């Protein structure tokens, strides 16, 4: 059983581990922080004092250039290229990705005076552990072992910022995308729910959720592609994809581009009068009805070949750790936009933005929502769901919400502004 399960993502572990280590470290620190850190390896060593802007020690991201890393400012944060790996940090978030995998620090990265700061924990704990062959930490010193890592040797030699230099990362560094080159098209991953042996909800006349959501998803893919998005679908045929794999696929497709994840579903209950549309983002359910929908959609796992029965524990941990996550706020916004667009054409009840713990959303590290188009259990809405008119309207409404999202949040498009 344990062997069938992929390794637990590092997210939770690092959070727990990190908390313990940060405590033991900070107990030995006075209020001014841990003192200067010398970073040495490529070019002149740099020495920087610990910044205490947020009450915990942090160092500027640019100091990692002395390890041969390339450090680029992005609109939302900072991207660090070390060897073959890309580490991506966002302003205000303790979460980051390294080579596509999620990690969590005890404290968030932040920007101050135009300089991007990374928590002390990254320098003294995470980097030396993640790259034991290449990076060593001793009190006050972070050192590159051997030479600069191969893929980073083209990086410009590190230039320590002048003392007190306020111009900061953003002003001095080239943007991640060279000027004059268009930013990559944002990715939109469309995830038609269910499929194969899992029919989803079934309507009074036999309409199956898995078929409806695939039809709407295909229409949506066409509309979004026409509008210039890079569109991927987790399935295009009547097949079952494991819930956990759907998010993994999305992360791989995204790389370091901006991206959104849209899971498309239809609702169903025994009360045939229930009707309307609702959009969920990932968080802990607050109401019985939210829990009901999450259980209904998470139940798809019973059709999987190797159901990962212990994953509910992961879900709980991740949810409790994600409350302030950057993506959660963006997902909430996106859910609101979908509801607004649906209210313009949908004849059913606007049931609003809701939150619950969906397995399919947990693994997607990007703004992600789950849309319940209508109730297939309601005879009138079952007819609607099967109609081409409704499917086109629903696809257009979702595409409009995606447009609005990127208009209102240019920081997610990767465009410099
Ligand atoms: Zn569903």
Task: Summarize pLDDT for 223-261 with one digit per residue, the tens.
Answer: 999 999 999 999 999 999 988 889 889 988 887 778 899
How far is the C-alpha of 111 from the C-alpha of 97, rounded, in Å? 18
- Looking at 139, 172, 205, the residue that finishes a domain is 172
Query: What count of residues does the chain have?
Result: 417
Exposure pattern of 337-374 as b/e (b: 16+ CB <10 Å)? Answer: bbbbbbeeebebeebebbbbbbbbbbbbbbbbbbbbbb
151/200 same-domain check:
no
- Asked if the structure places residue 178 within a domain, the reply is no
- Write the CB contacts of 42 (distance below 8 Å, at least 6 apart in sequence): 65, 66, 67, 68, 144, 148, 157, 158
Give the model's pLDDT for residue 183. Answer: 63
166 Cα to the center of ligand 1, angstroms: 51
Note whether 105 and 121 are within 8 A (CB).
yes
244/305 same-domain check:
yes
Q: Is the pTM here over 0.75, yes or no?
A: no
66/112 same-domain check:
yes
208 Cα to the center of ligand 1, angstroms: 10
Give the model's pLDDT for residue 222. Answer: 97
235 Cα to the center of ligand 1, angstroms: 14
271 Cα to the center of ligand 1, angstroms: 17
The CATH number of whichever domain residue 208 belongs to comes to 3.40.630.40
132/278 same-domain check:
no
322 Cα to the center of ligand 1, angstroms: 23
210 Cα to the center of ligand 1, angstroms: 8
343 Cα to the center of ligand 1, angstroms: 21
Could you give the number of structural domains in the chain? 2
152/198 same-domain check:
no
Going by the DSSP 8-state scheme, the letter that residue 146 receives in this structure is S
290/248 same-domain check:
yes
Exposure pattern of 57-92 as b/e (b: 16+ CB <10 Å)? Answer: bbbbbbbbbbbbbbbbbbbbbbbbbbbebbbbbbbe
119 Cα to the center of ligand 1, angstroms: 40
Going by the DSSP 8-state scheme, the letter that residue 175 receives in this structure is P
303 Cα to the center of ligand 1, angstroms: 13
How far is the C-alpha of 102 from the C-alpha of 121, rounded, in Å? 16
- Asked if the structure places residue 218 within a domain, the reply is yes
Q: 3-class SS at 260?
A: strand
Give the model's pLDDT for residue 1. Answer: 37
297 Cα to the center of ligand 1, angstroms: 5
Give the model's pLDDT for residue 212. Answer: 98
235/350 same-domain check:
yes
359 Cα to the center of ligand 1, angstroms: 12
- Asked if the structure places residue 370 within a domain, the reply is yes
Note whether 58 and 89 are within 8 A (CB).
no
- What residues make up the domain containing 157? 10-172
- Looking at 147, 172, 197, the residue that finishes a domain is 172
227 Cα to the center of ligand 1, angstroms: 27
103 Cα to the center of ligand 1, angstroms: 29
106/218 same-domain check:
no
How many other C-beta atoms are found inside a 10 Å radius of the C-beta of residue 149? 23
201 Cα to the center of ligand 1, angstroms: 7
For 313-362, the DSSP string reads: HHHHHHHHHTTT-HHHHHHHHHHHHHHHHHHTT--S-EEEEEEE--HHHH
253 Cα to the center of ligand 1, angstroms: 23
Report helix angle 388-408 to 379-386, nearest 10: 80
117 Cα to the center of ligand 1, angstroms: 42
- Asked if the structure places residue 2 within a domain, the reply is no
- Looking at 115, 141, 172, the residue that finishes a domain is 172
Give the model's pLDDT for residue 163. Answer: 34
120/230 same-domain check:
no
120/67 same-domain check:
yes
The CATH number of whichever domain residue 161 belongs to comes to 3.30.457.10
296 Cα to the center of ligand 1, angstroms: 7
Number of H helices, E strands in the chain: 12, 18
How far is the C-alpha of 97 from the C-alpha of 79, rounded, in Å? 10
152 Cα to the center of ligand 1, angstroms: 45
Low-confidence ranges of the chain (pLDDT < 50): 1-31, 151-181, 309-311, 320, 323-324, 415-417
- Asked if the structure places residue 417 within a domain, the reply is no
380 Cα to the center of ligand 1, angstroms: 18
- Asked if the structure places residue 239 within a domain, the reply is yes
How far is the C-alpha of 333 from the C-alpha of 410, rounded, in Å? 13
168/194 same-domain check:
no
266 Cα to the center of ligand 1, angstroms: 6
- Asked if the structure places residue 267 within a domain, the reply is yes
Give the model's pLDDT for residue 103. Answer: 76
363 Cα to the center of ligand 1, angstroms: 17
- Asked if the structure places residue 102 within a domain, the reply is yes
263/392 same-domain check:
yes
Q: Could you report the per-residue pLDDT of 145-191, keeping only the tens digit for each? A: 875 555 443 333 333 333 333 333 333 333 333 334 456 788 999 99
373 Cα to the center of ligand 1, angstroms: 10
**9-188-173 Cα angle (round to 5):** 75
194 Cα to the center of ligand 1, angstroms: 6
């Amino acid at each position: 059983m344990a062997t069938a399960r992929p390794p637990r993502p590092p997210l939770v572990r690092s959070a727990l581990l990190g908390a313990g280590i940060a405590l033991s470290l900070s107990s030995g620190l006075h209020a001014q922080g841990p003192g200067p850190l010398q970073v040495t390896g490529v070019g002149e060593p740099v020495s920087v004092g610990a910044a205490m802007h947020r009450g915990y020690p942090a160092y500027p991201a640019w100091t990692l250039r002395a390890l041969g890393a390339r450090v680029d400012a992005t609109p939302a944060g900072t991207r660090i290229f070390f060897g073959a790996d890309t580490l991506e940090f966002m302003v205000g978030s303790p979460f980051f990705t390294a080579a596509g995998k999620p990690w969590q620090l005890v404290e968030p990265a932040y920007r101050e005076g135009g300089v991007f700061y990374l928590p002390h924990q990254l320098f003294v704990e995470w980097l030396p552990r993640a790259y034991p062959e290449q990076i060593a930490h001793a009190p006050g010193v972070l050192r590159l072992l051997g030479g600069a890592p191969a893929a980073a040797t083209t990086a410009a030699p590190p230039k320590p910022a002048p003392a007190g230099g306020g111009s900061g990362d953003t002003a001095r560094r080239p943007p991640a995308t060279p000027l004059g080159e268009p930013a990559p098209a944002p990715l939109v991953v469309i995830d038609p729910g269910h499929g194969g042996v899992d029919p989803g909800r079934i309507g009074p006349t036999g309409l199956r959720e898995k078929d409806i959501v695939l039809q709407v998803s295909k229409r949506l893919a066409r509309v979004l592609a026409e509008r210039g998005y890079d569109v991927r679908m987790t399935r295009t045929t009547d097949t079952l994809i494991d819930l956990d794999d759907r998010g993994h696929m999305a992360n791989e497709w995204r790389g370091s581009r901006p991206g959104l994840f849209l899971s498309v579903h239809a609702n169903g209950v025994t009360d045939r009068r229930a009707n309307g549309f609702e959009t969920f983002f990932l968080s802990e359910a607050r109401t019985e009805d939210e829990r009901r929908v999450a259980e209904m959609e998470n139940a798809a796992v019973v059709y999987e070949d190797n159901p990962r029965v212990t994953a509910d524990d992961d879900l709980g941990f991740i949810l409790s750790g994600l409350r302030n996550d950057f993506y959660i706020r963006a997902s909430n916004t996106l859910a609101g936009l979908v509801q607004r667009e649906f209210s313009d054409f949908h004849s059913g009840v606007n049931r609003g933005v809701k939150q619950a713990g969906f397995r399919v959303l947990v693994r997607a590290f990007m703004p992600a929502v789950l849309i319940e188009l209508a109730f297939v259990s309601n005879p009138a809405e079952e007819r609607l769901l099967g109609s081409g008119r409704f499917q086109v309207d629903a696809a257009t409404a979702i595409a409009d919400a995606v447009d609005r999202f990127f208009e209102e949040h240019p920081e997610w498009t990767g465009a410099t502004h």
